[in-house]
């Protein structure tokens, strides 16, 4: 069995971690290049070639030149995903016959609106509400 000092183990783990970190950054930049709408096809191809042929220099230059817009695109993407999720929840909650009585929500809201406008009396409102919830 060969002697492998503890410091060498830590150094090897650090190198391994940095390589993994490097690949994550490289893939993040490549996906950002393709996601960017402000660049044309030629510029995207140029950046890809630069990042692949000279990876360390290409990634460093990309982060310096386009780092701010890269963050803005990440924020925009997160906001779009959040808005899509919220819209999905609203749609799922308002569909009639959907699981937990989502259609009743719309009907009760309409009844409350009719009651507040004076079109329904309190007694009519309570009867219609009981009918919906039954």
Question: Looking at the predicted structure, is the pLDDT value of residue 116 above 70?
Answer: yes
pTM of the model: 0.57
Question: What pLDDT sits at residue 79?
Answer: 92
Q: Give the phi and the psi of residue 102 in degrees, each rounded to 5.
A: -65, -30
Q: Is residue 20 helix, strand or coil? A: helix
Say if residues 15 and 21 touch (Cβ distance below 8 Å).
no
Least-confidence region, from 13-17, 23-27, 48-52, 114-118: 114-118
First to last CA, the chain: 77
Residue 60, both tokens: 């460093």
Residue 116, both tokens: 């507040």
37-59 pLDDT per residue, tens = 889 999 999 999 999 999 889 99
Contacts of 44 (CB under 8 A, 6+ apart): 33, 34, 36
């Amino acid at each position: 069995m060969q002697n492998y000092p503890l410091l060498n183990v830590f150094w090897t783990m650090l190198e391994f971690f940095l390589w993994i970190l490097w690949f994550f950054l490289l893939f993040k930049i490549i996906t950002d290049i393709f996601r960017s709408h402000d660049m044309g096809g030629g510029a995207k191809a140029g950046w890809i070639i630069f990042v692949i042929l000279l990876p360390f220099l290409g990634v460093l230059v990309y982060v310096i030149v386009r780092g701010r817009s890269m963050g803005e695109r990440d924020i925009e993407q997160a906001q779009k995903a959040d808005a899509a999720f919220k819209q999905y929840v609203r749609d799922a909650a308002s569909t009639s016959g959907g699981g937990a009585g989502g259609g009743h929500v719309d009907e009760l809201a309409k009844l409350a609106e009719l009651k507040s406008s004076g079109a329904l009396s309190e007694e009519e409102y309570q009867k219609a509400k009981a009918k919906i919830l039954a």
